[in-house]
A and B are shown apart, each in its own frame.
Chain A
Amino acid sequence: MQRVRVRADMPPGHVRTPTYLRGKTGLTERVLGPFPNPEELAYRHKGAALPLHRVRFRMGDLWGDAAETPDDTLEAEIYAHWLELADAP
């Protein structure tokens, strides 16, 4: 599985990347799509086709010491333009 980091950008408007995942690092579990970019579809544009990654995060990496159970996991669908390759820890 590929290690990826979610971009920490905070643009206005419609995006499908939850705020709590921005800047967090996880592993791509599978790649889906391509699907049209929802950030463009939302404003009546056609939407460039983008790969959609299902990224698996450790709860400990999302919430730090406040994590309920650090080794529990969370998976979310993140569009490719929100992801950067991350180095191995």
Chain B
Amino acid sequence: MPHDHHDHLSPSGHPYRSDDDHPLTYWQTMEIAVRELLIEKGVTTASDIAKQIDAMDARNPAMGAQVVARYWTDPAFAAALLADGAQATREMGFDIGPMKLIALPNAPDLHNIVVCTLCSCYPRNLLGLPPDWYKSRAYRSRTVREPRKVLAEFGVTLADGTEVRVHDSTADMRYIVIPNRPAGTEGWDAEALAALVTRDSMIGTGIARTP
């Protein structure tokens, strides 16, 4: 394998949930069984599974941050992203598979926030796997009813007169919030701007960093 999945710390510095030195669980046993049966039946191969894991690990919020930074700096791209989010993202060179994407630009008087109340739909092919809280019962239950309280828990306070718009990702589309470009970044290039774009700012539970 190209890299070792058994490291104690991930690239993000979080510990991996240990799985090699705890008693084997029923569901882990099922995972091994399903995997081995699929390989024996020729449905997939160990190599394809490893490649799929590596492909998913390679997807991360930095990819979305590049999309946002380009939106801020390239008006033609911004128009293309709003017209067809998936196509514009692919043309930037990102392999997002069959994902359908809608970009949701914030405005001085509009703040977008994304939730999936029915499951955990997330633009995983662009941003990687969702954070644990995104999948939690609390986030999924409360965001559609009291988004401002949820935002406050994430430390986001909005200017008076700002409309909050919640997007419940109920079906086929996936969403990326385009946060407002921070003040004081006039003349910055896309690479410098991308460093200000956090994962949470693209879900709507955060805003872009200020320089």
Partner of A16, one of B148, B163, B171: B171
Q: Which residues in window 132-186 of B have CB below 8 A to A?
A: 144-149, 163-173
Kindly report which residue of chain A lies nearest to residue B144, judged by CB atoms: A74
Given contacts A18-B118, A20-B144, whether A72 and B171 have CB atoms under 8 Å apart is no
- Tell me whether A32 and B167 are in contact in the complex, defined as CB-CB below 8 angstroms, given that A20-B144, A69-B148 are known contacts: no
Which chain B residue lies CB-closest to A76? B168
How distant is the Cα of A63 from the Cα of B146 in the complex, in angstroms? 10
* Cβ contacts under 8 Å, B146 to chain A: 68
B173 touches A76 (CB 8 A): no
Q: Choose from A38, A68, A76, A79 the contact partner of B148 (Cβ within 8 Å).
A: A68
**Number of residues from A at the complex interface, CB < 8 A:** 25
Say whether B171 contacts A77, CB under 8 Å: yes
A35 CB contacts on chain B under 8 angstroms: 171-172
A12 within 8 A of B: no
Q: Which residues, 50 to 88 on A, are CB-close (under 8 Å) to B?
A: 52, 54, 62-63, 66, 68-69, 71-79
Q: Closest residue to A30 on the B side, CB-wise?
A: B102
A33 at the interface (CB under 8 A from B): yes
- Which residues of chain B have C-beta atoms less than 8 A from A68's C-beta? 145-149
Which one of B118, B165, B171, B172 lies within 8 Å of A74 (CB-CB)? B165
Task: State in angstroms the CA–CA spacing of A54 and B104 once bound together.
Answer: 13
Q: Quick check: is B89 within 8 A (CB to CB) of the other chain?
A: no
Cross-interface CB contact of A73 among B100, B148, B165, B170, cutoff 8 Å? B165
If the complex has contacts A18-B170, A32-B173, are A75 and B117 also in contact, measured as CB distance less than 8 A?
Answer: no
* 12 more A-B residue pairs beyond the given contacts A35-B171, A38-B171, A74-B144, with a C-beta to C-beta distance below 8 A: A18-B144, A18-B168, A35-B172, A54-B173, A62-B145, A66-B145, A72-B147, A73-B163, A73-B165, A77-B169, A78-B170, A79-B171
Taking Cβ atoms with an 8 Å cutoff, the residues of A that contact B are 16-18, 20-21, 32-33, 35, 38, 52, 54, 62-63, 66, 68-69, 71-79
Q: Which residues of B contact A (CB under 8 A)?
A: 100, 117-118, 144-149, 163-173
* 27 A-B pairs (CB sep. < 8 Å): A16-B170, A16-B171, A18-B118, A32-B100, A32-B172, A32-B173, A35-B171, A38-B171, A52-B172, A52-B173, A54-B173, A62-B145, A63-B145, A68-B147, A68-B148, A71-B163, A72-B148, A72-B163, A74-B165, A75-B165, A75-B166, A75-B167, A75-B168, A76-B168, A77-B169, A78-B170, A78-B171
